[in-house]
């Protein structure tokens, strides 16, 4: 362990704002990208399935 204590770790030798500001922003962007992408995939599949059900319903109506 190169750090004397956890508080020394969080203080980053006086550069806490710069070091944690970098890492937190990177984490926010990466987590945000993954979240947006998974949401896009989910809504896309829901929408495609809805369109399919609606068009299947139309076909049934014209058949009867």
Partner 1 sequence: MGHGRRIAYFDGIRWVTGLGNINWFKYASPVTFYGLAGRMIPWFSAAAAVLAVAGIYIGFFVAPTDFQQGEAYRIIFIHVPASWMSMFIYVVMAVWAGFGLVLNTRLSSMMASALAPTGAMFAFIALWTGALWGRPMWGAYWVWDARLTSELILLFLYIGFMALQAAIDDPRRADRAGAVIALVGVVNVPIIYFSVLWWNTLHQGSSISVTKAPAMAHIMLTGMLVMAIAAWMYTIAVVLVRVRCIILERERHSAWVADLVKEAK
Q: Catalog residues that contact partner 1 under the rule CB under 8 A.
A: 1-3, 9, 12-15, 17-19, 21-23, 25-26, 29-30, 33-34, 37-38, 40-41, 44-45, 48-49, 51-52
What separation in angstroms does the CA of 42 have from each of 31, 38, 45, 58?
17, 6, 5, 25
Q: How far is the CB of 56 from partner 1 (least distance, A)?
A: 10
Give whichever of 17 and 63 is closer to partner 1, judged by the CB atom: 17
Maximum CA pair distance of the chain?
79
Q: Cβ closer to partner 1: 52 or 58?
A: 52
């Amino acid at each position: 362990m190169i750090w004397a204590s956890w508080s020394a770790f969080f203080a980053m030798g006086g550069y806490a704002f710069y070091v944690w500001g970098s890492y937190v922003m990177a984490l926010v962007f990466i987590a945000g990208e993954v979240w947006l992408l998974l949401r896009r995939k989910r809504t896309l599949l829901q929408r495609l399935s809805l369109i399919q059900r609606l068009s299947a319903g139309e076909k049934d109506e014209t058949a009867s």
